[in-house]
Structure formats: structure tokens, C-alpha cells
Amino acid sequence: MTDHYDIAIVGGGIHGVGVAQAAAAAGHSVLVIEARALAAGTSSRSSKLIHGGLRYLETGQLRVVRECVRERALLLRLAPALVRPQQFHLPIYRHTRRRPWQIRSGLSLYAALGGFRGAARFRRLPPAEWGDLDGLVTDDLQAVYAYMDAQTDDAALTRAVMQSALALGAQLAVPARFVSGRVDGGGVEVEYEEDGTRRACRVDALVNAAGPWASQVNDAVSPRPRSVEVELVQGAHVLLAGTLRRGIYYLEVPSDRRAIFAMPWEEAVLVGTTETPFAGNPDNVRPQTEEIAYLRDAVGRYFPNLGGDDEPLDAFAGLRVLPATRGAAFRRSRETIIDGDDPRTPRVITIYGGKLTAYRATAERVMERLAATLPLRPRRARTDTLPLEPASA
């Protein structure tokens, strides 16, 4: 007899495991199908920030920021071993495009959205403290603002959420590749391959959480769910020898005025990210030589000692899934798109884009969309109160 699950999820990145946790908490039977390893895709190649996205305020994306700061507060409470508060620094030089008053008003709004009061909001560092900023260049420096956000290990967070889902009864097939889905009146027939063996199951709903591979996965579903037009934009990071004791620095790249981060990571310094249009198979995403040079050059202007002439300790790249509109990737909407094959009783739901930070809110939204499709089950838990612990190996 074919196995039956309420939901099958393709992809063991943060969104796949998030939906697995939310579905299992709501009492559903769930199977996650992951082709390589948990967090093998974008969810181990992000900037590892649990943040509201200060810069999204510039493009008026208040809803995204509000949701992300709410989720940040929740994760700091539920996952203290995985998500740590971190001080961010914003240096403003004579040549910086954003002026001190703009930064101050942006930070005021950011703090207000995050519910911060008093000293927890942000502060302008007195010049006497500038010498203690990890060797930051102080020529032409006009102001430095400091504020709080948070940092995580994205892959460890993904494994922790899956562990929580497993504890609630979810099942995980890994490495296991989704092969096909056939939608009929009463559900979806799913085929996948595990250990060289073809397996099949029947589900009420299929959730496509394959990130940059989402279109490929939908190509294997019949009838094919309509596609949302998206573009893949590559973001690279380099890991350089050095230390940043004071926290994270938010820096403006002099050549194009984009913002990049330099952050402490595994006894070294992680610098990212780029925005390079990407076409082709997401399996082949790799940092380009020019991206590595761009990041090294930009951070070297502010921290001349970082990395020296040595080769980077590491470099990696991930793919953002962004709505296909004109204009710089930097300014595009970061809203997560949750697309169903039917407005009332979707059988196939695809998640496009999104933020690591807001994975839980996204997962709960997916469950709302599936409410009329799925059978009612007795709830086991609530994701906004479930603690997250680092996964045991």
C-alpha cells in the first residue's frame, strides 16, 4: 500500500523545515524530501543575520521589516543557543552617500518598529571610541552609529528546526530526490528516489520549498502549476583572516554605493555580499573571481589589515530568488511569495524568495493557505512557543 501523508515538502532548507515544523505542530503527518543534506542550498550560504533589514526601510518595505523584527525578538527568546544579539556599526565618512541625519531617522524608525526604548535603541559613538573599532579607518570619518540586531549559524538553525519537527512526528527522507508529482481531484501522487530506489506516496498537499530549484521542481508536477516570474541573483561571501571584536560593520562600497557587511565568523571575518545576475542550473553557483576581488577591495578600504595579501580562507555563493522586475536587485521587493495552484483549495504551494529571519512566519502563512485543503487534526504545539535547541549530531 502507498504511504499517505497530509503534506509532502520538497526541500530541506529553512523554508522546508519551517513548514514541516508548523505542519507537525498543527497535528499533520509530514514528509520532507531533501536531495542532498539539510541546508545544502541557500540556507547555509546566507549572511547569517537575523535582522529586520534596516536597508529595506529605504525602499519603503515596512511590512517586511516589521515582520522580521518581530521574528527576531521571538528567535532571540526561543533559540538563545542559536541566535545571538550582535552590535552593528554604521560608519559615515565625508564621501558616504547616506548622511548622518538620514541614518539617524532610519535607525529611529527601525528601533520604533522593533519596540526598543532608551539605550537599547541606537547610539552615536563619541570620537574617543573610534580608536577601538577593530582598526576601522578614521580619516574623513564623520560619525559612527551603533545598534543591535542578531546573528546565527544558518545551517545549524535549519537543523534545529528540523529536529523540532521530527520531535513532533515529521519524517525526513535525505538524501532523496523529488522525481514527480501528479495532481488529481483528491490529492497528489508523489514519486521520489531514495538510496537508488523509487518510492511513492500520496499526499493531500505538496509544498515546493526548493528555493532556487523551485521552477525545476514545478516542471516535474502535472498539471504544471503556473509560474511566478522570478530571477536568480547570486550573492557571494569571502572569509578573510582577521578579527572583529566589536561586532558587525555595515559599509558602503565606494564604487557603487551598495552596502556590504563585515562580520565576525568562526575566528575570522566574513564579508558579503554581491549581487550578480545568474542564469543556468542552481547546482553550479560558485563565487566568481571578480566578486571576491570586489569584496576584498571594498572591505580593504575600511579595514586595510583584513586578509592581507593572503588567499581568502573560504568563499561561497548563494542565490536570491527575486521578483522579475526592472531595477537593481538591491531595491527589489523582499516579500516572500506564496503561490498556490488554486486560490481556495491549493494542492501545490510554491514558496519563492523570503528571509531566513522570517521563516516561521512564512511557514505559518503556508499553513493558513492550506487550511481548506487539509483535514482538521488535533494541534500538538505552537511554533511561537516551541524552544529550539542545537540539533544533536
Report the alpha-carbon distance of residue 202 to residue 220 in Å, rounded: 16
Q: Which of 155, 79, 224, 46 has the alpha carbon at shortest distance from 393?
A: 155
Q: Which of 156, 187, 206 has the alpha carbon at shortest distance from 33?
A: 206
Q: Which of 331, 315, 309 has the alpha carbon at shortest distance from 259?
A: 331
Amino acid identity at 199: R
> From the CB of 12, what's the least distance to ligand FAD, in Å?
5
| Site track for ligand FAD across 177-206, x = CB under 6 A | xx----------------------------
Q: Collapsing DSSP states into helix, strand and coil, what is residue 94?
A: coil
Rounded to 5 degrees, what are φ and ψ at 146? -125, 140
| Cell output for 365 | 502563512
Indicate whether 33 belongs to the interface with ligand FAD (CB under 6 A). Answer: yes
> From the CB of 87, what's the least distance to ligand FAD, in Å?
16
CA atoms within 13 A on the CB side of 160: 21
Among 13, 91, 114, 187, binds ligand FAD (CB under 6 A): 13
Indicate whether 159 belongs to the interface with ligand FAD (CB under 6 A). Answer: no
Size of the site for ligand FAD (CB under 6 A): 37
Indicate whether 34 belongs to the interface with ligand FAD (CB under 6 A). Answer: yes
Beta bridge partners of 3: 201
Report the alpha-carbon distance of residue 118 to residue 111 in Å, rounded: 10
Among 150, 210, 270, 349, binds ligand FAD (CB under 6 A): 210
Stretch in the footprint of ligand FAD (CB under 6 A) among 119-127, 207-215, 246-254, 368-376: 207-215
Among 8, 26, 31, 41, binds ligand FAD (CB under 6 A): 41
Indicate whether 365 belongs to the interface with ligand FAD (CB under 6 A). Answer: no
Q: Interface residues for ligand FAD in 260-289 (CB under 6 A)?
A: 273
Q: Collapsing DSSP states into helix, strand and coil, what is residue 106?
A: helix
> From the CB of 130, what's the least distance to ligand FAD, in Å?
26
Cβ contacts of 313 within 8 Å, gap of 6 or more: 239, 240, 241, 268
Among 35, 79, 263, 292, binds ligand FAD (CB under 6 A): 35
Q: Which of 282, 372, 348 has the alpha carbon at shortest distance from 10?
A: 348
Pairing assessment for the beta strands 83-93 and 141-152 based on DSSP bridges: antiparallel
Q: Interface residues for ligand FAD in 296-325 (CB under 6 A)?
A: 318-320
Measured from the CB atom, the residue of 66 and 99 that comes closer to ligand FAD is: 66
Stretch in the footprint of ligand FAD (CB under 6 A) among 45-53, 97-105, 106-114, 223-231: 45-53
* Buried/exposed 149-174: b ≥16 CB within 10 Å, e otherwise: bbbbbbbbbbbbbbbbbbebebbbbe
Among 7, 8, 9, 14, binds ligand FAD (CB under 6 A): 14
Indicate whether 251 belongs to the interface with ligand FAD (CB under 6 A). Answer: no
Indicate whether 114 belongs to the interface with ligand FAD (CB under 6 A). Answer: no
Among 212, 287, 312, 340, binds ligand FAD (CB under 6 A): 212
Measured from the CB atom, the residue of 193 and 345 that comes closer to ligand FAD is: 193
Report the alpha-carbon distance of residue 169 to residue 30 in Å, rounded: 8
Nearest residue to ligand FAD on Cβ basis: 13
Q: Interface residues for ligand FAD in 51-70 (CB under 6 A)?
A: none
Among 72, 159, 246, 355, binds ligand FAD (CB under 6 A): 355
Chain CA centroid to CA 316, Å: 15
Among 12, 247, 264, 340, binds ligand FAD (CB under 6 A): 12
Report the alpha-carbon distance of residue 301 to residue 279 in Å, rounded: 31
Residues that bind ligand FAD (CB under 6 A): 10-16, 33-36, 40-43, 46-49, 177-178, 209-213, 217, 235, 273, 318-320, 351, 354-357
